[in-house]
Amino acid sequence: MDFGPHLILAILEGAVGASVLALTALGLSLVFGVMRVVNVAHGEFFMLGAVVAWFVASTLAGHPAVGFLAALVIAPLVAGVIAMVVDRIVLKQVEYDPEATIVGTIGVLYILQQSALMVYGPEARPVEPPFSHRIALPWVDWGENGFGFYFPWGLSTTSYKLFVIVAAIAILLTFWLVMSRTRIGLIMRATQLDRETALAFGIPVQRVYSMVFGFGAALAALAAVLIVPIQQAHYLMGHDPLLLSFIVVIIGGLGSVRGTVVAALLIGMSDGIISVFLSPTLSKIIATLLVALVLVFRPQGLYGKKMA
Amino acid sequence: MTKLLKTSRRTLLKSAGAGALMASSPLLGRFASAQSSEPIKIGFQQHSTGIGAAYGRWYGRTTDAAVKMINEAGGINGRPVEIIAEDDGTDPKRGAEVVEKFANQHNCDVAFGTLFSHVVIGSAPAAGEQKLPYFVVSEGHHVASGGLNRYTMQPGITDVKSQVQAMAPYVAENLGKKVTMIFPDFAFGHDHRDFFTAAIEAQGGEVLEHIAVPPAETSFTKYFPKIPRDTEVLYHVMVGPAVLTFVKELGEFFGPSSPAIFGFIDSLEAVDLASPGLEFLEGTYFWEGNPRYAQEDQTSYDKNFRAAVGVDENGASVSDASDVSTYAHMFGCWETLHIIKAGMESADYQGPADRQKLIEAVEAMTDMAESDAHPQGPKMFNGKTHQVFGVQYISKVENGRLVKVHTTSIEDTMYPDEVDYTTQSF
């Protein structure tokens, strides 16, 4: 493939990856920012979203869009409710102690994964996209008659992939509006800034924690519903998003929304482009190297605040 | 206080009644002629989870059906067959543990059923150490290449080297000579890469590009731009949970103008050909180990095999039309179990002490006629290399069905021996 079309294709693939990654990592970042706990089971909530999407889409007959739209609502709800239960029966019991929550959420990871294996089975199953048209992209080239358009092999995307990018941007904007313009957002930010003072001002911190944990899981599930028509649902699919989310959150600065989005773009795009041009393994190596460099030279992340 | 053991008339009658009941039970009666009516235990290393799960499910169903048939016909040497299935997670390390468990905990007579080549390669040394006959159903060339040991045999399914060697002339004559290959990046895919490249060069063709994809990959579009523009034939073989995504994205990548496409059905095993997004496969070619759709010239053996396993004429489960089988591979379990039976009978196998006699009996096998025990077709076993050879099929997608267009001969698939396991000591 020529360099130009190849690059465009790489950027398109990278953008889809980056959008989904941004949503997933944002959930992880939010939980850490507000609750100061590391949720190792985050990837499993992603998987849960995809699996629930499959169940919803396969029970609802009719046009695939019906099942997909229902899944967009139901899957994040289910993941959110399960996360809130986990918050109550696991995290609260260990009093949000940072080390204990890591161990606790590792346990939750295995419980969710193995439950999915038992209920859903070991197969990968597809969810039909609500719509998907192949869009061939033209490319200009110097031919016999001067510059001319032509449609190179493979330079194409699907309308659904473009929809994923647009949907992710819309969700990110909504998230930003909720955080900065609503009362709930204010309460969350207050809890993030200073838990004790928030408590003193009558903010029900325990309930905020449950809500944030559920909200974080719901974001991961939402990202999964968007990607599942492209990738299929599988009980082990939570591993990669977890790893990449951690990379993104560390590079962006734990708890920083802006940093998370910027880092997700950086990692998602570079992952797409490097894996198209060179090899997917190399792109993971480079992402991990980037984390190491950030940790050495800017431990608080790109946008993180220095801890006192 | 001691209690005297006294046989009263009542207890005598009771035990006599129980004895009569047992004698009249159909199962025990059938196996009564054996010296021991202990079951013959076959350890089944099953890919229930991990990337081989879809294969594992159907290997399980085929195995159950074959064992049911063998037991209904009187078992092996008058003894019933019992399958002890253990999940290996399609993981080489766990595979070796499972083999050791078969030998030491379950006291299995033989182990059987492994498909994925990296699991076979990981488990075979354990089978050799435990001196446990290990019948794999894998397609990998590692058995015939001499890389394993005398206890590991592949008598029920042909290997990749012979399959691709038989495909190359057809591809070169009918589809084109400039080939780009896409294959999974582990032992099985490397067999495809090495042997097809050599085979197509022998036909005067060439491979322009080798594209290796990790078997656990879930997104494939990024690999396709490496396909050179002057490719005449795209050769694809893929495994893992995301094969449907792989084929779909291949269609999206090419759109209306694609090169000729030749695939190994592995890329679509357990996947419904009618899935949305696969329409572009119409008119493309596939290697099939065993034709998924019942063909016009279907043999009675294939018919019986489908009925026993519960597969309809479209290759899907009779109880759920969306549950598509791994039809091109799973016959290997059926045939291997029948070979284990034949081997044990000719060796007069009585227990683990006779394991060497069993291996020697299988090594002595040669021709296997097409029959209910060998529904995929006639085969020729090479005792020296522990590998079986058999006919291969090429099918074309016509109206959303795979229609057989070419059957190779067994001779097309043969290659010179690379090892003589019979010279190795036990």
Element (H, E) at B210: strand B206-213
Q: 3-class SS at B205?
A: coil
Q: How would you classify residue B309: left for phi > 0, otherwise alpha for psi between -120 and 50, otherwise beta?
A: alpha
Inter-residue contact A90 to A225 (CB < 8 Å): no
Separation of alpha carbons A215 and A221, rounded Å: 10
| For residue B253, pLDDT beyond 80 | yes
Touching check for A138 and chain B: CB below 8 Å? no
- Considering the four listed CATH numbers 3.90.1200, 1.10.3470, 1.10.357, 3.40.50, the one that applies to the domain covering A16-130+160-297 is 1.10.3470
For A34-153, list the strands marked E by DSSP. Answer: 134-136, 139-143, 146-150
Map tokens 């299988």 to a residue.
B362
pLDDT in tens, B376-413: 999 999 999 999 999 999 999 999 999 999 999 999 99
pLDDT average, residue stretch B259-286: 90
Would residue A218 be called left, alpha or beta, if left means φ above 0 and alpha means ψ between -120 and 50 degrees? alpha
Flag whether pLDDT at A145 surpasses 90.
no
CA distances from B187 to B99, B140, B183, B194, B237 (A): 20, 8, 10, 10, 13
Give the pLDDT confidence score for residue B206 in this predicted structure: 95
Beta bridge partners of A143: A146
**A122–B50 CB contact, under 8 Å:** yes
DSSP state of A125: B
Burial of A155 (0-12, 13-18, 19+ CB in 10 A): buried
Return the bridge partners of B182, or none: B211, B236
Q: Which residue has the higher pLDDT, A177 or A287?
A: A177
Q: Report the percent of chain A where pLDDT is more than 70.
A: 94
The reported pLDDT for the residue numbered B49 is 86
Q: What Å distances lie between residue A251 and A59, A294, A298, B357, CA to CA?
A: 40, 6, 9, 63
A206: closest CA of chain B, how far (Å): 39
- Report CB contact under 8 Å: B226, A1: yes
Please report the pLDDT score of residue A144 as a whole number.
Answer: 67
DSSP one-letter string for B330-341? HHHHHHHHHHHH
- Rounded Cα–Cα distance for residues B285 and B264 (Å): 9
**Is residue B346 over pLDDT 90?**
yes
Name the minimum distance, in Å, from the CA of B99 to any CA of chain A.
22
Chain A nearest-CA distance from B197, in A, is 22
Helices (H), B175-288: 187-202, 243-254
Do B213 and B238 meet the contact criterion of CB atoms below 8 Å apart? yes
Q: Which residue of A has its CA nearest to B53?
A: A122
Residue B13 is predicted with a pLDDT of: 57
pLDDT in the model for residue B29: 47
* Nearest CA-CA partner of B219 in A126, A230, A277, A8: A230
How many Cα atoms sit within 13 Å of B224 on the Cβ side?
A: 26
pTM, whole model, 2 decimals? 0.82
Query: Rounded distance, CA B30 to CA B3, Å?
Result: 39
Residue A231 is nearest to which of B48, B56, B219, comparing CB atoms?
Answer: B219
Average pLDDT over residues A29-58: 93
Residue A211 to chain B, least CA–CA distance (Å): 32
> Cα separation of B116 and B123, whole Å?
11
> Rounded to an integer, what distance in angstroms lies between the CA atom of residue B67 and that of residue B81?
7
Of the candidates B272, B281, B269, which has an alpha carbon nearest to the alpha carbon of residue B241? B269
Those residues whose C-beta lies under 8 Å from the C-beta of residue B113, and which sit 6 or more positions away, are B44, B45, B46, B59, B63, B135, B136, B137, B333, B336
CA–CA gap between residue B91 and residue B216 (Å, rounded): 12
Contact between A127 and A157 (Cβ < 8 Å): no
All structural domains of chain B, each given as residue ranges with its CATH number in brackets, are 29-158+330-390 (3.40.50.2300), 160-297+392-411 (3.40.50.2300)
Interchain contact, A231 vs B214, CB within 8 Å = no
Q: Write down the residue that tokens 């579009």 correspond to.
A: B221
A contacts of B227 (beta carbons < 8 Å): 1, 153-154
Q: What is the pLDDT of residue B219?
A: 81
